[in-house]
Amino acid sequence: MDYLVRIIGPLLEGTGVTLQVFLISFVLSVPLGLALALVRVSRFAFASSLVNGYIWLMRGTPLMLQMLFIYFALPFVPLIGVRLPDFPAAIVAFVLNYAAYFAEIFRAGIQSIDRGQYEGARVLGLSYAQTMRRIILPQVFKRILPPLSNETITLVKDTSLIYVLAMNDLLRAARGIVQRDFTTMPFVVAAAFYLLMTLVLTLAFQYLERKHAVYDG
């Protein structure tokens, strides 16, 4: 018990880092994903295929590679050449990567809406932007809650990848103690912390799903 109290401090600190990376990445990547999806389904064929290529690149290479690239290789890329500290580098990698996944979720959602909804809105005089904002996206949002929930929980766990940038997130903090004290206890505590975080998210998404259950379709 004493031991637990002693290790909880560093583990909580690690949890703080994990939560920060998760929250910032989530808040930024969802709108970016939505924007990408809107371009993807727009009538601008060139922009749409650019987004398509971007999604292919982001989903087709390991997130860890992307993170290492942004942290270590970006400074040497001509023109862009910026050196990011570890925290912003991690955020940029997560946002760029997860926006691609969220974009695919939004795209599938948008394309699942019946064409009649667009026509119904159009004959009432709504513009394309108004149709999207008032008619299509509210329905999309309801439909994509389950896959969005999935992806969000994956993001929580993926934050552990930042150990490659030597950042002290929850998992790295736990591993540090394990190696120092030769006990697996910190891993158990870390697992409990991850479970708690994903439980909160699961409940939050369940709440949203229930709230939107007032209508079918």
Partner 1 sequence: MARPMIDARGVHKRFAAVEVLRGVSLAVDQGEVVAVIGPSGSGKSTFLRCLNHLETISRGSIDIEGETLVATTADGVCRYAPDADIRRICRRMGMVFQHFNLFPHLTVLQNVIEAPITVKGLRRDEIVPRAEELLRKVGLLDRQASHPSRLSGGQKQRVAIARALAMEPDIMLFDEPTSALDPELTGEVLRTIRELAEEHMTMLVVTHEMAFAREVASRVVFMDGGEILEARPARELFAAPEHPRTRAFLENML
**Interface characters, 88-117, with partner 1 (x: CB under 8 A):** --------------------------x-xx
| Token pair for 88 | 């912003």
Do 149 and 201 touch, CB atoms closer than 8 A?
Answer: yes
| Token pair for 65 | 């590679």
- Judged by CB under 8 A, does residue 79 bind partner 1? no
CB within 8 Å of 186: residues ≥ 6 apart: 7, 11, 173, 174, 175, 177, 178
At position 75, the amino acid (one-letter code) is: P
CB within 8 Å of 85: residues ≥ 6 apart: none
Provide, rounded to whole angstroms, the least separation between the CB of residue 133 and partner 1: 9
Do 198 and 152 touch, CB atoms closer than 8 A?
Answer: no
Report the residue from 125, 166, 179, 182 that binds partner 1 according to the rule CB under 8 A.
Answer: 125
Q: Coil, strand or helix: which one is 112? A: coil
Do 197 and 156 touch, CB atoms closer than 8 A?
Answer: yes
- Judged by CB under 8 A, does residue 213 bind partner 1? no
- Judged by CB under 8 A, does residue 210 bind partner 1? no
- Judged by CB under 8 A, does residue 181 bind partner 1? no
Of the pair 75, 138, the CB lying nearest partner 1 is at 138
| Token pair for 23 | 């929250």
Do 6 and 74 touch, CB atoms closer than 8 A?
Answer: no
Provide, rounded to whole angstroms, the least separation between the CB of residue 217 and partner 1: 4
Report the residue from 49, 111, 119, 204 that binds partner 1 according to the rule CB under 8 A.
Answer: 119
- Judged by CB under 8 A, does residue 45 bind partner 1? no
Q: Which of these segments, 66-74, 76-84, 122-130, 181-189, binds partner 1 (CB under 8 A)?
A: 122-130
| Token pair for 37 | 């999806």
Report the residue from 19, 24, 126, 201 that binds partner 1 according to the rule CB under 8 A.
Answer: 126
- Judged by CB under 8 A, does residue 206 bind partner 1? no
Size of the site for partner 1 (CB under 8 A): 22
Report the residue from 49, 61, 111, 127 that binds partner 1 according to the rule CB under 8 A.
Answer: 127
According to DSSP H, which parts of the chain are helical? Answer: 2-40, 45-60, 63-68, 86-111, 115-123, 128-130, 137-158, 170-181, 185-211
- Judged by CB under 8 A, does residue 142 bind partner 1? yes
Site residues for partner 1 per CB under 8 A: 114, 116-117, 119-127, 130, 134-135, 138-139, 142, 214-217
